[in-house]
């Protein structure tokens, strides 16, 4: 999603802004731009595509000035080209924007009637003209910005700069995050603390409805009525974080390989391996007295939640209502007073997930946030933060955050089952022991990389792929399909293996590889029947299983990938790794932009 950086500084800011924008690349974008003010004049460079293109533009035509705003744009209104790239200008006003101005069409018509000409297809340009019109009518810059902000509906983060004041940037937040960075005689604005990390770790997060006047030596935050408000200044943990691929080709590859370690950290946070029990940290509810829980999330995080549902229901006998957040937020779901709600999000900023959280907040139930970014909005608005300790995830396709989300959900399911008396102390010890072994199983799974790379070479020749699984392997099949389509652009579907004959079997022919995720568990034989149905129709099977499964599969496979024998409870965490590697290597063979696939954003701050 779009990224914003703004600096009121003391040295030339254009290169600093581009450098900070690079730290926001992980959010996904398709064009970029920077504007500065020098000697009372606005200057701007913009470029379609990656930041190297903007870098090149700046090398050919450098921009001076010690105040500036920069932007990476993820297109919502208008194609990703140079004209639509931010910053947008209007008569001495420059603007960058993340989000959607919902009433832009109405405002555009009004501004056109007043003679303003639009040069882009964006919703953002209306804001530049609105501010410029206020200035033309005699308002001072800060008032002009405030008056314009009051006209806007929708979700936005904005930074506004003026040619007539080289010591002023106005920022605003209503939805997507925006943080103020405090420097020595210089001040910053950024979409997150990671962007500002090279400059400062002293951060103030704006809250929804806040706007801020930033000058080199001071800043003041206001609410929409113009009242001064105080927000806490905090030390960000992001400063020590270096964006680095190590010796890997891609962040995604590095992040896949980090999993044994980060899963271990995450599990140890929630489980006492010595005692063989879930840690008894304070929760704002008692699992024993809940009648159900609600879970909501988007994409991969939703699929983690769906696996969590299987665990909570099977082991803790606790019913789970789960929905993708874009549906959850509008469906007017009845929320039981005896429930708790969990929101799963790597970024902690996903707009739909945040809206679902706020819906549950209104319903008055306790809220837990399973998030990777602890300083995020979802974390801040929850009653308890249940962190995934995956470390920063830069690859747009989620890998280590997913397995860490699963780790938190598995540990919570153990805690819930123990509190509700649905497992005995011996069973709890056995479940905790199984989880403690996951980092080792994950390390063994990574050793299959060579074989998976070969299978992926074959997969890259097909246009469609089907994934099948039963039980917790069904959401995992959907995750496999999601991962493959988002980074390799090969069409893929994940199905419950038992649903095959209710439709998708019509797709099976020699051109349809079918990836079956089937450890030798209670229902393995059922999945074997489904594989036979595929094989009988010429489908090419890639089976991901364990030794016993391989020995008992009784069907011809194109390839069988044999994972270590793992307890059924933890299998989805371990089986996620070959699924991720398959997608990764297929994308590498396809030659796509693995870490920043087209059209995708890491942090989806618009609905």
Point out which residues bind ligand F6R (CB under 6 A). 298-301, 345-347, 350, 353, 397-398, 482, 486, 604
Q: N- to C-terminal Cα distance for the chain?
A: 11
Task: Give the nearer residue to ligand F6R in terms of CB position, either 394 or 410.
Answer: 394
- The helix (run of H) or strand (run of E) holding residue 211 is strand 210-215
The pair of three-digit structure tokens given for residue 464, joined into one six-digit string:
């469609």
Residue from 163, 180, 182, 162 nearest 171 by CA: 180
Backbone angles phi, psi at 165, to 5 degrees: -140, 105
Handedness of CA 217, 223, 228, 233 (dihedral sign): negative
Largest CA-CA distance found in the chain, in angstroms, rounded: 81
Smallest separation (angstroms) from ligand F6R to the CB of 6: 24
Smallest separation (angstroms) from ligand F6R to the CB of 395: 8
User: Left (φ > 0), alpha (ψ -120 to 50) or beta: where does 340 sit?
Assistant: beta
Residue 64: strand pairing partners: none
Please name the residue ranges forming H helices in 120-208: 125-136, 141-149, 193-196
Smallest separation (angstroms) from ligand F6R to the CB of 601: 8
Q: Which of 2, 298, 360, 404 is catalytic?
A: 2
Contact 88, 141 (CB under 8 A): no
Q: Is 602 a catalytic residue?
A: yes
Smallest separation (angstroms) from ligand F6R to the CB of 35: 29
Task: Give the nearer residue to ligand F6R in terms of CB position, either 178 or 576.
Answer: 576
Task: Give the nearer residue to ligand F6R in terms of CB position, either 18 or 482.
Answer: 482
For 446-487, the three-class secondary structure string (H helix, E strand, C coil) is: HCCHHHHHHHHHHHCCCCEEEEEECCCHHHHHHHHHHHHHHH
Burial class (CB in 10 A: 0-12, 13-18, 19+), 291: exposed
Smallest separation (angstroms) from ligand F6R to the CB of 353: 5
Smallest separation (angstroms) from ligand F6R to the CB of 482: 6
Smallest separation (angstroms) from ligand F6R to the CB of 352: 8
Task: Give the nearer residue to ligand F6R in terms of CB position, either 56 or 598.
Answer: 598
Smallest separation (angstroms) from ligand F6R to the CB of 339: 21
Q: Is 404 a catalytic residue?
A: no
Burial class (CB in 10 A: 0-12, 13-18, 19+), 331: exposed
d(CA 356, CA 103): 23
Cis peptide, bond prior to residue 390, ω within 30 of zero: no
Q: What angle do CA 346, 348, 353 make, to 5 degrees?
A: 100
Task: Give the nearer residue to ligand F6R in terms of CB position, either 300 or 557.
Answer: 300
Smallest separation (angstroms) from ligand F6R to the CB of 356: 11
Smallest separation (angstroms) from ligand F6R to the CB of 422: 29
Contact 374, 314 (CB under 8 A): no
Contact 126, 88 (CB under 8 A): no
d(CA 180, CA 51): 23
Residue number with the smallest Cβ distance to ligand F6R: 299
Task: Give the nearer residue to ligand F6R in terms of CB position, either 63 or 325.
Answer: 325
Task: Give the nearer residue to ligand F6R in terms of CB position, either 466 or 478.
Answer: 478
d(CA 462, CA 124): 40
d(CA 431, CA 434): 5
Tokens 């950290």 appear where?
Answer: 265
Residues 6+ positions from 56 with CB-CB distance below 8 Å? 47
Task: Give the nearer residue to ligand F6R in terms of CB position, either 186 or 479.
Answer: 479
Contact 344, 447 (CB under 8 A): no
Q: What angle do CA 10, 56, 14 make, to 5 degrees?
A: 10
The pair of three-digit structure tokens given for residue 365, joined into one six-digit string:
């139930």
DSSP string, 394-418: -SSS-SHHHHHHHHHHHHHHHHHHH
Q: Which of 309, 483, 485, 602 is catalytic?
A: 602
Task: Give the nearer residue to ligand F6R in terms of CB position, either 253 or 486.
Answer: 486
Task: Give the nearer residue to ligand F6R in terms of CB position, either 297 or 413.
Answer: 297
Contact 297, 324 (CB under 8 A): yes
Task: Give the nearer residue to ligand F6R in terms of CB position, either 6 or 394.
Answer: 394
Smallest separation (angstroms) from ligand F6R to the CB of 258: 16
Please name the residue ranges forming H helices in 169-298: 193-196, 251-257, 259-270
Active site amino acids: 2, 602
């Amino acid at each position: 999603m779009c990224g914003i950086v703004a600096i009121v500084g003391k040295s030339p800011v254009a290169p600093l802004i581009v450098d900070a924008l690079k730290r926001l690349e992980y959010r996904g974008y398709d064009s970029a731009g920077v504007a500065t003010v020098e000697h009372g004049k606005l200057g701007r460079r913009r470029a379609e595509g990656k930041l190297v293109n903007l870098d090149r533009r700046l090398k050919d035509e450098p921009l001076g000035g010690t105040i500036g705003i920069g932007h990476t744009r993820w297109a919502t209104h208008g194609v990703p080209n140079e004209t639509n790239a931010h910053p947008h200008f209007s008569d001495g006003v420059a603007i960058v924007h993340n989000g959607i101005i919902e009433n832009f069409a109405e405002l555009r018509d009004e501004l056109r009637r007043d003679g303003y000409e639009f040069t882009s297809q964006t919703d953002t340009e209306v804001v530049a003209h609105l501010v410029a019109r206020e200035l033309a009518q005699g308002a001072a810059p800060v008032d002009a910005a405030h008056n314009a902000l009051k006209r806007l509906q929708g979700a936005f983060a904005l930074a506004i700069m003026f040619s007539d004041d080289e010591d002023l940037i106005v920022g605003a937040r209503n939805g997507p995050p925006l943080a103020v960075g405090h420097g020595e005689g210089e001040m910053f604005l950024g979409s997150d603390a990671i962007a500002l990390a090279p400059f400062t770790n002293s951060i103030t997060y704006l809250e929804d409805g806040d706007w801020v006047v930033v000058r080199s030596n001071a800043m003041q935050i206001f609410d929409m009525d113009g009242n001064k408000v105080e927000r806490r200044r905090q030390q960000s943990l992001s400063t020590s974080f270096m964006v680095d691929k190590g010796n890997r080709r891609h962040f995604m590859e590095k992040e896949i390989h980090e999993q044994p370690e980060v899963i271990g950290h995450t599990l140890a946070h929630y489980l006492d391996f010595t005692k063989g029990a879930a840690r008894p940290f304070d929760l704002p509810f008692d699992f024993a007295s809940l009648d159900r829980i609600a879970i909501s999330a988007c994409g991969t995080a939703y699929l983690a939640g769906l696996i969590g549902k299987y665990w909570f229901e099977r082991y803790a006998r606790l019913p789970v209502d789960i929905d993708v957040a874009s549906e959850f937020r509008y469906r007017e779901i009845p929320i039981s007073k005896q429930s708790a709600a969990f929101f799963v999000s790597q970024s902690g900023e996903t707009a739909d997930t945040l809206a679902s959280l706020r819906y549950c907040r209104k319903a008055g139930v306790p809220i837990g946030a399973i998030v990777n970014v602890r300083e995020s909005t979802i974390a801040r608005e929850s009653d308890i933060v249940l962190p995934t300790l995956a470390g920063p995830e830069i690859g747009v396709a989620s890998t280590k955050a997913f397995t860490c989300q699963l780790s938190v959900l598995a540990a919570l399911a153990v805690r819930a089952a123990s509190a509700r008396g649905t497992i005995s102390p011996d069973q709890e010890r056995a479940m905790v022991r199984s989880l403690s072994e996951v980092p080792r199983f994950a390390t063994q799974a990574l050793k299959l990389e060579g074989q998976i790379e070969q299978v992926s070479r074959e997969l890259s020749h097909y246009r469609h792929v089907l994934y099948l699984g039963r039980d917790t392997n069904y959401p995992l099949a959907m995750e496999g399909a999601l991962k493959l389509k988002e980074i390799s652009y090969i069409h893929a579907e994940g199905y419950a293996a038992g649903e095959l004959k209710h439709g998708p079997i019509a797709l099976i022919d020699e051109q349809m590889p079918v990836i079956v995720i089937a450890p030798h568990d209670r229902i393995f034989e059922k999945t074997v029947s489904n594989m036979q149905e595929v094989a009988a129709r010429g489908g090419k099977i890639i089976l991901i299983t364990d030794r016993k499964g391989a020995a008992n599969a009784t069907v011809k496979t194109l390839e069988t990938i044999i994972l270590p024998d793992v307890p059924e409870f933890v299998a989805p965490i371990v089986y996620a790794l070959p699924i991720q590697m398959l997608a990764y290597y297929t994308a590498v063979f396809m030659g796509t932009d693995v870490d920043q696939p087209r059209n995708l954003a890491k942090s989806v701050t618009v609905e």
